[in-house]
Amino acid sequence: MIEHLDPWPFINGAYGISVLFLAGTALLTWRRLRQAAKRLAQTEAS
């Protein structure tokens, strides 16, 4: 028999980790892209 649990901590956990992953990877990717563009511009200028 399955014990009845409050599902909300599990729902919040699933949404929380998904949002953290999407926001985190977006932020890291944006930083990498900006740094790559900056370094390329510096190298081309020198």
Partner 1 sequence: MQSMHSAGERTARGNLSGRKQAGWLHYFANPGRFARFARPILPWLGAVSALLVVIGIVWGYAFAPADFQQGNAARIMYVHVPAAWVSMSGYAMLALCSFFSLVWRHPLADIAAEEIGPVGAGFTFICLVSGALWGRPTWGTYWVWDARLTSVLILFFLYLGHIALVRGFESRERGYRAGAILALAGVVNLPIIVFSVQWWNTLHQGNSFSLSGSSIYPSMLYPLLVATLGFYLCFLTLVLARVLAAIMERKTSSLLLANAERDA
Our finding on whether 32 is near partner 1 (CB under 8 A) is yes
We find the least distance from the C-beta atom of residue 23 to partner 1, in angstroms, to be: 9
Our finding on whether 27 is near partner 1 (CB under 8 A) is no
We find the least distance from the C-beta atom of residue 25 to partner 1, in angstroms, to be: 6
> What does 1-46 look like in DSSP terms, one character per residue?
-PPP--SHHHHHHHHHHHHHHHHHHHHHHHHHHHHHHHHHHHHHH-
We find the least distance from the C-beta atom of residue 28 to partner 1, in angstroms, to be: 9
Which residue do the tokens 């992953």 mark?
Answer: 21
